[in-house]
Every structure is written in structure tokens, then in C-alpha cells.
Amino acid sequence: MKWKFKFIKGQEVEVTSTNKKEEGLEDSFFAAKIISISNQKKKKNKFCVEYKTLLDETDETKPLREYLPYKCLRPVPPPPKETSPPCPYELNEEVDAFCNDGWWKGVITKIPNVDSSKYSVFFKHHDEEMEFECSDLRNHLDWIDVKWVSSKNKETAVLEQYDGSFLIPIPTGCSAYDSDMDISETPPSEMMNLPSSSSLNKTRLPSHSVS
């Protein structure tokens, strides 16, 4: 199979739910790092990733690792332009909200006013509305045909380099298919305090952990 975009070992990526059938993971994105890449032609799940914010259920002192196919990975989305307003989100706009250690796609249903500084976001797959500060939101972008496409159908050309090559960060001395790179554990981030009734709070990634 010829890949349109080449991921390399050591690269920061996001694991998408696009091709996962597990209920509750629709439209979610979790930060991870590629630990190794198999060069076995018949192996479907070639990419071993380590999550930055998720822990292994069998040993919660270690970050979760799992093998994934190419289609479940995407680069880290580009940061907003410096000229963008600090909180540019509008009513009915698609955004990603940071919740339960990952990003979840939703729609803005309420914008800040004199009574509240928070945005309300509705999550279709969970039939749930939650409030977020602007700092916990980002523009929703889809990775389609090696291009970032916004919810407003405006394409953003893929950059080969952005402040130190954000799409292709090549670690010193590492090649795309080197499999014995040493890395240190990424400390897990603190879980957000969500309401106990929140279905997002109960969502867990399927366990395909790597010892």
C-alpha cells in the first residue's frame, strides 16, 4: 500500500476515531507519539503509538501503547494564526473541545455573555451539552487527502515546515523504520473534573495495549 503521507518514528500524532467502531469514541482525537513502525508488508497494524494522556488499564503507572493502522493516524493540527482573535468561535460552528484527556468534536450552541465567560458545546454522538472555557477549545479541522480542511470548507495547504517542522519532526539519529529507539515516559495529564453523569467521562479507549 502506498501512503499519501509518510509518518515517521518519533513523530507526534493524533489518533482518530474515524475508523474505530467502538461506541463512544466517535469524533475523538487523542495525542500520541509513534514509537515504532513495522516494515512487515502483511502486517495491518504497523504503527506502535504511545498515548500522552491515557494510561494502560493493566498498569496505570505506564502510558497506554497500542498498534494501529495508518488510517487511524493524522498529524498534529496546525496552531491558529497569530493574527487570529483569541476566541474566534461563533454560534453553530464546529469545534474540538478538550475533555477526558482528548479532543472531541462538537458544535457551539452558546457563546460567552455578561453572565458567563464559557461556551456551550453540543456533542451529537453523546447527545450531551457541556460548558468550556475558550482555552479548552480549538478549531475543528479534518485531515483529507493530505490537506487540512476546516468546517467552513476552507482548505489549508499542508506545510512541509512550521516553526521547526511541526508535521515532520525528525528526531536526531532516527530513521522512519528504526525500531529500537529509547524514549522516556510521558507523565499523564490530570483528568478534567467532569460531572459524574457525563457520558464522555465514562468513555475509555479500547484496550489493545502493548506490553
Model confidence pLDDT, tens digit, residues 123-153? 998 999 999 999 999 999 999 999 999 876 5
Distance, CA of 83 to CA of 133 (rounded, Å): 20
Q: Which domain holds residue 50?
A: 12-77+164-195
- Measured at the CA of 105, the angle between CA 168 and CA 128, to 5 degrees, comes to 155
Residue 143 falls inside a structural domain: no
Q: What is the pLDDT of residue 21?
A: 54
Q: Is residue 86 part of a domain?
A: no
Q: Within 10 Å of residue 61's Cβ, how many Cβ atoms?
A: 8
Residues in contact with 5: Cβ distance below 8 Å, sequence separation at least 6, in sequence order: 75, 146
Q: Whose CA is closest to 143, among 195, 85, 103?
A: 103
Instruction: Judge whether 190 lies within some domain.
Output: yes
How crowded is the C-beta side of 112, counted as CA atoms within 13 Å?
10
Instruction: Classify residue 143 by its DSSP letter.
Output: E
What pLDDT sits at residue 188?
33
Contact 55, 143 (CB under 8 A): no
Confirm whether 180 is domain-assigned: yes
- Name residues whose C-beta falls within 8 Å of residue 119's C-beta, 6 or more positions apart in sequence: 89, 95, 108, 110, 111, 112, 131, 132, 133, 134, 137
Q: What is the model's pLDDT at position 158?
A: 44
**Total count of domains within the chain:** 1
Tell me what percent of the chain is helix, strand and coil, each rounded to the nearest 5: 5, 35, 55
The answer to the question of residue 17 being in a domain is: yes
Where b means 16+ CB within 10 Å and e means fewer, 163-195 reads eeebbbeeeeeeeeeeeeeeeeeeebeeeeeee
Spell out the per-residue pLDDT of the chain, length 211, in tens.
567 889 999 999 999 975 455 667 889 999 999 999 998 877 778 999 999 999 999 999 999 999 999 999 999 999 887 767 777 899 999 999 999 999 999 999 999 988 889 999 999 989 999 999 999 999 999 999 999 998 765 544 444 333 333 444 434 333 333 333 333 333 333 333 333 334 555 554 444 445 4
The answer to whether residue 49 is domain-embedded is yes
Burial class (CB in 10 A: 0-12, 13-18, 19+), 84: exposed
Report if residue 31 sits inside a domain.
yes
Does 187 map to a domain? yes
pTM: 0.72
